[in-house]
A = this chain, B = another copy of it.
């Protein structure tokens, strides 16, 4: 199909939340899309195993099918939108569409994080395009920012609030002083958290998205399993209260930083200054803070999930690909944003043991003289110096909390020190440690 094309056909596989939002957008904003592309975009086919349930989006007759491959094979479909999720069927649909010479759009972050490079090569080989704007940051056009808007820069640092569920939970804990379990239960009751919330609250989803961001920043892949991940289950109202007192806000940050030897890539709760733009990102919103060598600091903020914002991202890819189809080109921008023809080009991940942070430590100890000096002694023996200490607890209690903020220390030293302090008889629980980022 070339410049003379009268119409560009779209097929959707997966008629769930995002699929129905995408169909709604394609239908309602059809005239706008025509003006954007220079040719009409027509929704040609929609596949889902369940074609009975009413999604509230009235489709023209005859569009629905239960067979995803029928969407792919339809000659009127030029762009296949894969919104099935998961890694099995989705993978089959994606590769089959590419093999059939169809361009593809997907929101499937797990698939991209684990098979991005393979997908990128298949796309290039088949002479088609792939869009995955919806895979990170929902409606935020962060993929485009990385592949195009900031393309002239070496990307030195990325800090992302890229899981809406975690940000919603932490924001409500911060605003209302509630505990994790209570807010999680409420989030589950209103559909903002899954019945099994592990994928979100344990940081796995953030790691998948961070893997994609690193791929776009560097051109090389980092498999999610190489990313150090810590979730938000252990954050207490006490930690958040202490953070506030010291001018910090706790966010689950996905962090990537260029170092002298490779790139640091990690996801964990982080204390950041409360007056930083990222600290003001509330509710289920997402934001990605990116530093480049020429552009300096920049930030992209918006709805990280949801039917309509995600549809906005999916259809932005449909528009981009349709603009290419109209001009008869593909491969203007490779999947990663880089024309690297090396196979298996990974990015070197520097050791997490060498990562350097200030730290917040919360010890639960027996209230008797000499305890602090014992802890300080252990820290000191691991080259960790203390910036401030607060002790809290009623006098009648036998257990009290000691809060310590350290100066910069390496992860490996901190771990060795905590292993040792946690064996002290006066220390009652596993010590809570949260990393502090002052330089973002």
Chain B residue, CB-CB nearest to A333: B323
Report yes or no: B36 in contact with A338, Cβ–Cβ below 8 A: yes
Query: Given contacts A36-B338, A150-B316, are A309 and B294 in contact (CB under 8 A)?
Result: yes
Query: Given contacts A35-B339, A149-B141, A319-B152, are A302 and B303 in contact (CB under 8 A)?
Result: no
Shortest distance between the CB of A123 and any CB in chain B (Å): 15
Shortest distance between the CB of A131 and any CB in chain B (Å): 11
- Please, how many residues of chain A have a CB less than 8 angstroms from a CB on the other chain? 65
User: Which residues of chain A from 20 to 71 have any CB-CB distance to chain B below 8 Å in the complex?
Assistant: 21, 25, 29, 32-38
Contacts of A331 in B (CB 8 A): 327
State whether the Cβ of A132 lies closer than 8 Å to any Cβ in chain B. Answer: no
Cα distance A298–B144 in the bound complex, in angstroms: 14
Cα distance A209–B364 in the bound complex, in angstroms: 56
Query: Given contacts A295-B303, A303-B297, A329-B329, are A152 and B37 in contact (CB under 8 A)?
Result: no
State whether the Cβ of A241 lies closer than 8 Å to any Cβ in chain B. Answer: no
User: Which residues of chain A from 169 to 200 have any CB-CB distance to chain B below 8 Å in the complex?
Assistant: none
Report yes or no: A219 in contact with B35, Cβ–Cβ below 8 A: yes
Chain B residue, CB-CB nearest to A26: B152
State whether the Cβ of A139 lies closer than 8 Å to any Cβ in chain B. Answer: yes
Report yes or no: B315 in contact with A296, Cβ–Cβ below 8 A: no
Q: Can you sample 27 A-B contacts with CB below 8 Å?
A: A25-B152, A29-B294, A35-B339, A36-B151, A133-B149, A139-B298, A140-B298, A141-B149, A144-B145, A148-B316, A151-B315, A151-B316, A151-B319, A152-B311, A153-B312, A275-B280, A277-B277, A277-B281, A280-B280, A292-B312, A293-B308, A295-B302, A296-B306, A296-B309, A297-B303, A301-B301, A326-B332
